[in-house]
Every structure is written in structure tokens, then in C-alpha cells.
Structure 1
């Protein structure tokens, strides 16, 4: 029996990816204007960014426990192996909830082949891991082979990103009000990365041109063999800039396999419009 890959909506993959690789998806919840929406199903990211430009503050909540219990029970009953690749546990309680539901379901179905993996990744960084796992599942790899490769990619996935307005990170508790005010006043753009699953400030750059050049330098410093891996770019409703980055990656690094997606509603609610993030491996592709 084939192995099923489960992802949460924070991986920011498109419906085309889910359909092509037969990936199952579970949604985080987005709260806007006193309404609740299933991320990736019931609301478009553009609606979130437009709302934030109007100074609204969308909120998010983790995947509901019952959603995991229903999915895990279904696969346990059918005796089909399931691997869930989760959003970083440092950014959401979704992983912990999934682990609790895994244990609960296994009390009834002790032999169920259900595996919950904390990738410590987010957005297309997570999405690229999900795609690699789904490729392996489609090719008939074993559970152990898929988990080993997915874990390797997760451990070596770089996240380098910037936001257009520090105010959004302030609202999400990522920077102080003073830093957000001063940064906006001086037109300072932060470069951040993910370290052990947490969002960590890396550098502050003044000016958009310097920002782009510095992000390329960091990519060159940390990455390896860009011609033999998939590079991810996610953007907060700024496809033009994302495509400009992609062309520079092709020209500078010889990259040819690049996935561009909009940052989804859940992650975008914290990052804001104008976010640009790049994702790549810092070790050879496996």
C-alpha cells in the first residue's frame, strides 16, 4: 500500500502540487473581521494582504485536534502508512497537537503506521520538504527512507527572508515597538533567518538595492550546488520582486528549478505584504 504524505497549510504549496503528488493537507485557521477561515481552502492570501494594508490585524490559530484525530484514525483503520511533516514547533502548537492525537489514536490502533515529524521549517522551506517526501512516496520508497530524506532536507533547509514593514513583525511579537518605529523611519529592512525552528534577526540593511545584493551574498555563502536542487521563493503579494529574484538566481547561480508561491494566509498574517523569502539547501541535495 502506498505511503501518504500529510502537510499543513503553512507549507504554502499550491493546489496543483497537492493534486500532482496526491498530498493530503490540514488547515490552520485564519481569523479576520470576526470570521474564521480554513487557510488554503476558504480564503485567498491576497484578501489577507489587502486587509493588512487597510490596517486590519488578522490572527491565526493552530490546527484543531479533532482534524488530526479524524485523519489519523482514517489511516489507522485502513492500515495505510501516513507521514505528517509539520510546521516548526517553535512557531505553532500544531506539531504538539498532532503528537497528542497520534498517541491517542495509537492507544486504539497500536500498530498504526503514523509518523509525525517536526521539520522546524515554514512556508516554502517546509513545502520543498513535503514535495521531496511526496516524490519518494510516489516512487515507492519505504517509510524509513522517506523520513530519513525529509529529516535531512529539514536540517539543511535555509530560510532567508525580509519584510516590507517592521510593523507587522511588531504586531506578531517579533520585534519591539521602538525597533519597528525606528526601522520604518530610517527605511531599514531586516534580514531574518530560521535557526532551530525560530525566526531570528540576522542583519539590518538600509535601501532596497543593498538588500537584494546582500540576500544574494548570503545565499552564495550558505548554499551549495544550486543547479542540482529546487530553490523556493515565497512572496507577500509581490510576484514582480519574486520573479526578479528568480532571474538573478538563474543568471548568478545557474539555478533552473525554482518554485515561486505566495506566502499563504496563515504565515502572511504575521509577515505582511511585501515579504520576500528564499529557501535552499546548505548541503548537497539528497
Structure 2
């Protein structure tokens, strides 16, 4: 039976690090002139502490081609094929680094743009591993994953306009107007790209609207799992889980940390909701 190595990046949930045959390439975070490896040197708690303590701007960057090439090469002896599944190409150049590195090694590498991030990225990897356990070929696994990606929806309520602006993801005029009007944008991830779905004035209103999105999709699609995503506010995320589980008893709800790289851009109070249709 073919043995497959699974490679992802540190924007995925940290739970993947504990899985056999899974390898995580860290993203880079630059704060105050110092570079950190996400999930190795820096975790969300420390990130937000540094941002508050130093008041520094933070930036992120993708792993280099060389990092991927070295990892892929090290896997050639033990594995027959590599699946490398990464954060949306619209958010990071990680996919580009992975694809270029794949051309430099002898082992076949299937690179997949998840068009997503955080726990939903992890879920895709888990689905791929499940397909492998059923004896599917790499081409069959790839088809399964690409079909799943097309069913995904994610909505994120940004916790900090200032952080979004500092990270270069929001222009100055939008930041100024949003701050003055105390607007919280709800961003949708569509085809891997961030779009402003709508703007609300409070977390309560944002949560209400995200429940509406779920209601709307359930009218035409079957959903078995929904993921609540959070920056640091696990208590609020768990509150959402409990509330939604009571309203939709047939769906499995769970909360998951967004991670430090996403926190750089969105802030510690960010909350989101995500699912794949079945």
C-alpha cells in the first residue's frame, strides 16, 4: 500500500502536529525587527502580549522554497507520495513556495490550495487522510479534496480594525471611517479570497448575522459540522457553540483557535464561523 506524507503550514490548527505522517511548516512572524517561527517560537498568547507591550507592527511571511525542498527531500526515503495542503493562495505565498519546491525533488508532490485557513484547513487534511485509509489513489484523494473545498463557507468578524490596518490588509480611509463609526466588518472567504460581506456595529449583531448565514445555507444544503473560530476569546466561542448546539441538535459544533498568523491580521477578539456542506 502506498505510504503518503501529509504536509501543511502553521495556519492549520495545532492539533495536526500530534498526528502520524503529518509535517507542519511554520510561517514567519516579524515583530519589532525580530523574526519568530509560528507555533515554535511564538503562540497566540505571546503574540498578543508582544503587540500590547511593544505597540509594534507585526507582519507575516511565507516559508521559503528551500524550507519546503528540504522537508520534501527528507521524506523521500520513507514515503511514496506527498500531499502538501496550505492556506489560501490569496492570503499567503506559501502555495507558491510549495509548488516551486515540488519541482526540485524526486518524490511526487500534490500541492493543494485549500482556499481557507485555520481548523477548516485541518479538516481538509483529515479528510484526505481518511481517503488514504480507504485505499484511494493520490488522484482520487485529490478529487475528493477539491470537491470538498468547493463546498466550504467561512465568515469572520474582525476583532481589531487597527490590527487589520497595521498588517496592511485595510487602507487608511477604511480604517479611519470604521474606527469613527465603530464598525465591525464581517468578512467572507469566497473562492479563497476575503470579501466584506457586511458591516455591523456590535459583536452581538455580528453573531446574529452569522447565525442567519447558517440558517440560509441549511435551507438547501446538509451540514454535519460547524466550526467556531476565535482569536483568544475561547469563552465567547464556547458560548456560541453551546447556543448553536441547542438550536441545531443535529449538527456537531466545536470551537478552534485561529492561531498567531491570523491574529496578526485580525486581532485577538476575532470570531468566526465555518463549515463544509455534505
Q: Aligned partners of 1:56 and 1:259: how far apart in 2?
A: 33
5 Å-filtered alignment, 1:101-250, equals 101-105=101-105, 109=106, 112-223=107-218, 224-226=221-223, 228=224, 230-250=225-245
TM-score of the aligned structures, taking structure 2 as reference length: 0.91
Instruction: Name the residue aligned to 1:4.
Output: 5
Q: Aligned partners of 1:178 and 1:255: how far apart in 2?
A: 44
Asked whether the equivalents of residues 126 and 154 of structure 1 are also in contact (C-alpha less than 8 Å), the reply is no
Instruction: Name the residue aligned to 1:84.
Output: 84
Bigger CA drift: 26-35 or 236-245?
Answer: 26-35
Q: Aligned partners of 2:36 and 2:168: how far apart in 1?
A: 22
Q: Aligned partners of 2:86 and 2:100: how far apart in 1?
A: 13
User: Considering only aligned residues, what root-mean-square deviation do their CA atoms show, in Å?
Assistant: 1.9
Instruction: Name the residue aligned to 1:46.
Output: 45
> 1:188 Cα deviation (Å)?
1.4
Q: Aligned partners of 2:57 and 2:189: how far apart in 1?
A: 24
Matched pairs, number: 274
Q: Aligned partners of 1:240 and 1:266: how far apart in 2?
A: 21
Bigger CA drift: 198-207 or 31-40?
Answer: 31-40
Instruction: Name the residue aligned to 1:270.
Output: 265
Q: Aligned partners of 2:272 and 2:210: how far apart in 1?
A: 10
Gapped regions of structure 2 (runs ≥ 5): none
| SS of alignment partner, residue 50 of structure 2 | helix
Instruction: Name the residue aligned to 1:18.
Output: 17
Q: Aligned partners of 2:64 and 2:253: how far apart in 1?
A: 32
Q: Deviations over 1:131-188 (max 9, x none)?
A: 2222333444332232122111212111101112211222233322222222222221
> 1:77 Cα deviation (Å)?
4.0
Instruction: Name the residue aligned to 1:62.
Output: 62
Asked whether the equivalents of residues 4 and 79 of structure 2 are also in contact (C-alpha less than 8 Å), the reply is no
Bigger CA drift: 197-206 or 116-125?
Answer: 116-125
| SS of alignment partner, residue 187 of structure 1 | coil
Change (3 A) 1:85 1:170: same
> 1:5 Cα deviation (Å)?
1.4
- Runs of 4 or more, structure 1, over 4 Å off, are none
Change (3 A) 1:146 1:249: farther
> 1:122 Cα deviation (Å)?
1.5
| SS of alignment partner, residue 268 of structure 2 | coil
Which structure has greater helix proportion?
1
Q: Aligned partners of 1:191 and 1:237: how far apart in 2?
A: 18
Asked whether the equivalents of residues 4 and 21 of structure 2 are also in contact (C-alpha less than 8 Å), the reply is no
Change (3 A) 1:123 1:138: same
Q: Aligned partners of 1:23 and 1:79: how far apart in 2?
A: 12
Asked whether the equivalents of residues 49 and 236 of structure 1 are also in contact (C-alpha less than 8 Å), the reply is no
Q: Deviations over 1:44-98 (max 9, x none)?
A: 1111122233432221110121111012222334452110111111111111111
| SS of alignment partner, residue 269 of structure 2 | coil
